Amino acid sequence: MDTQKLLCSVLCCFLLSILSGRQQAVQGHYVPSDIRPLKLFVFGDSYADTGNTNKSQAAWIFPYGITFPGKPAGRFSDGRVLADYVAKFLGLESPIPYEGWKSSSCGIPLLKHGMNFAYGGTGVFDTIFPGPKMTVQIDFFEHLLKDNVFTAKDLEGSVSFVSLAGNDYFTHISTNGSAEGLQSFITTVVNQLAINLKRIHGLGVKKIAVTGIVPFGCLPPFTGKSSFQQCNETYNSFVGFHNLLLNQTVEKLNRETKDSPFFIIDLYASFTSAIKNEGSIKFENPPLKPCCLGVSSEYFCGRVDENGAKLYTLCENPKSAFFWDAAHPSQQGWRAVYSALQATLEQYFLH
Ligand SMILES: *[C@@H]1O[C@H](CO)[C@@H](O)[C@H](O)[C@H]1NC(C)=O
Ligand SMILES: *[C@@H]1O[C@H](CO)[C@@H](O)[C@H](O)[C@H]1NC(C)=O
Ligand SMILES: *[C@@H]1O[C@H](CO)[C@@H](O)[C@H](O)[C@H]1NC(C)=O
Ligand SMILES: *[C@@H]1O[C@H](CO)[C@@H](O)[C@H](O)[C@H]1NC(C)=O
């Protein structure tokens, strides 16, 4: 590296670290002093991805990101996603996306809060979407540990957030044309997920939270037929099976591991409560109807025709809608989910 570049990156990094330190003091929600240095390592899919996804994906086109950061920047929402709220809960800034870090000349200070390895569309196994599956994301993390980008000391008090929203099942259903054979596939997915969680722990992360799957049958593609009035209970019962199996598997993992490091973030219950408008945050849009809705049956948000005319409709106020697009909550939706989850996060992350 030539001197000028080195100097520039040192300065830039110094400034960045001051700025991020200040921001943390303002934003900090909870910084347990006994478990510093705290870092957050994020794995999984679009409910956690803050900018890793392939630039050809919807998350990089208008109107994604209009609420935060104000322009499309790789989040599958109008604004913040669940990983951002988990970071906030821990008193951290949202950790830098792996892809952003790789392409930056500014190294260490950017790593202060951990790293986000989640890619929208991915699953435990390969899916119909691009992006590295969870095992490959963990490989990235392992390489950074081998290269001492993160040290053993960095992992003291570190925590992990793993999001698994169901892209494996979406892939299974759409490539097989039905839910047939899904039951045995669920077992395969949960078993591999358990191996992945154990591996993250084995690499030195102290606490690991994994999401249960949301009520899949309440996602817009499955409620559109009923004008966004009714969830499809067939799909919800499959999700119920996944979540039950995940519960048993995580219980078993904890029995086999000192300190019971694993816990489940119950997105099924928190989504359900938000969709039913039971929390303090209320949604005016019919709660099952997304803010950004494709005009075709494919429900794609953000698509335009060859003349640039929108092939989607956008609600007036994204805050009024729980769902942003066909698969993802709006920032306000995530806020509602987060507020339903806060007690669980306190119970498990902080003890
Ligand atoms: C991004 O996705 C497109 C298609 O979805 C694919 O052709 C391309 O190879 C991907 N690029 C990367 C870097 O993964
Ligand atoms: C389709 O179903 C078969 C039989 O259940 C299963 O083995 C296969 O993995 C499924 N395909 C996908 C992409 O999940
Ligand atoms: C729910 O989905 C299943 C499987 O695709 C389908 O057979 C069923 O008709 C759907 N039910 C409703 C109420 O739409
Ligand atoms: C499994 O479910 C039981 C009953 O709902 C609950 O008390 C327990 O905390 C769950 N275990 C995990 C690991 O989430």
Find the mean pLDDT for residues 185-194. Answer: 98
Binding pocket residue ranges, ligand 4, CB within 6 Å: 247, 250-251, 263-264
User: Residue 149 in 3-state DSSP?
Assistant: coil
pLDDT per position as a tens digit, 80-118 = 999 999 999 999 999 999 999 998 877 667 899 999 999
pLDDT per position as a tens digit, 49-60 = 999 999 999 999
Torsions phi, psi of 235, nearest 5?
A: -70, -40
Atom of ligand 3 nearest to the CA of 178: 5
Is the CB of 204 inside a 6 Å radius of any atom of ligand 1?
A: no
Q: Using the predicted structure, report yes or no on whether residue 25 has a pLDDT greater than 50.
A: no
Q: Which two tokens stand for residue 78?
A: 């109008």
Closest CA to 122 of 154, 167, 66: 167
Q: Using the predicted structure, report yes or no on whether residue 307 has a pLDDT greater than 60.
A: yes
Most ligand 4 atoms within 8 A of CB, residue of 245, 247, 256 to mutate: 247
Q: What pLDDT is stored for residue 131 in this prediction?
A: 96
For residues 10 and 123, the model is more confident at 123
Q: What pLDDT is stored for residue 88 in this prediction?
A: 95
**Among 103-112, 248-257, 321-330, which is the least confidently predicted range?**
103-112
Buried b (16+ CB within 10 A) or exposed e, 291-309: bbbbeeeebbbbeeeeeee
Find the mean pLDDT for residues 221-233. Answer: 93
Find the mean pLDDT for residues 317-328. Answer: 96
Q: Using the predicted structure, report yes or no on whether residue 218 has a pLDDT greater than 90.
A: yes
Find the mean pLDDT for residues 146-174. Answer: 94
Q: What pLDDT is stored for residue 92 in this prediction?
A: 94
Q: Whose CA is nearest to atom 12 of ligand 2?
A: 172
The ligand that comes nearest to the alpha carbon of residue 136 is 1
Residue pair 192/133 in contact by the 8 Å Cβ criterion:
no
Sequence-separated (6 or more) residues with CB below 8 Å from residue 171:
123, 125, 126, 127, 128
Q: Using the predicted structure, report yes or no on whether residue 21 has a pLDDT greater than 70.
A: no
For residues 350 and 149, the model is more confident at 149
Atom of ligand 4 nearest to the CA of 250: 13
Please state, for a pLDDT cut of 90, what percent of the chain lies above it.
79
Residue pair 193/133 in contact by the 8 Å Cβ criterion:
no
Q: What pLDDT is stored for residue 297 in this prediction?
A: 67
The ligand that comes nearest to the alpha carbon of residue 176 is 2
Closest CA to 221 of 231, 213, 212, 211: 231
Report CA(321)–ligand 3 centroid distance (Å): 24
Q: Using the predicted structure, report yes or no on whether residue 27 has a pLDDT greater than 50.
A: no
Atom of ligand 4 nearest to the CA of 263: 13
Atom of ligand 4 nearest to the CA of 262: 13
Q: Using the predicted structure, report yes or no on whether residue 1 has a pLDDT greater than 90.
A: no
Q: Using the predicted structure, report yes or no on whether residue 147 has a pLDDT greater than 80.
A: yes
Report CA(236)–ligand 4 centroid distance (Å): 19
Using left for φ > 0, alpha for ψ between -120 and 50, and beta otherwise, residue 342 falls in alpha
Q: What pLDDT is stored for residue 15 in this prediction?
A: 44
Residue pair 13/106 in contact by the 8 Å Cβ criterion:
yes
**What is the distance between the alpha carbons of residues 145 and 207, in angstroms, rounded to a whole number?**
17
Q: Using the predicted structure, report yes or no on whether residue 30 has a pLDDT greater than 60.
A: no
Please state, rounded to an integer, the average pLDDT across all residues of the chain: 89
Is the CB of 181 inside a 6 Å radius of any atom of ligand 2?
A: yes
Q: Domain 27-282+331-349 belongs to what topology?
A: Rossmann fold (3.40.50)
Radius of gyration of the chain from Cα atoms?
Answer: 20
Report CA(239)–ligand 2 centroid distance (Å): 17
pLDDT band at 286 (very low <50, low <70, confident <90, very high): confident
For residues 157 and 276, the model is more confident at 276
Most ligand 2 atoms within 8 A of CB, residue of 128, 172, 186, 242 to mutate: 172
Q: What pLDDT is stored for residue 157 in this prediction?
A: 86
The ligand that comes nearest to the alpha carbon of residue 262 is 4
What are the start-end ranges of the H helices in 78-202? 82-89, 98-102, 134-146, 152-155, 167-176, 182-202
Where are the chain's structural domains? 27-282+331-349
Q: Using the predicted structure, report yes or no on whether residue 8 has a pLDDT greater than 70.
A: no
pTM for the complete prediction?
0.91
**Which residues participate in catalysis according to the annotation?**
46, 325, 328
Using left for φ > 0, alpha for ψ between -120 and 50, and beta otherwise, residue 76 falls in beta
For tokens 């698509």, name the residue.
303
Find the mean pLDDT for residues 115-125. Answer: 98
Q: Using the predicted structure, report yes or no on whether residue 28 has a pLDDT greater than 90.
A: no
Binding pocket residue ranges, ligand 3, CB within 6 Å: 179, 225, 232, 234-235
Is the CB of 113 inside a 6 Å radius of any atom of ligand 2?
A: no
Most ligand 1 atoms within 8 A of CB, residue of 53, 56, 140 to mutate: 56
Q: Whose CA is nearest to atom 3 of ligand 1?
A: 56
**What is the distance between the alpha carbons of residues 149 and 132, in angstroms, rounded to a whole number?**
20
Find the mean pLDDT for residues 289-314. Answer: 90
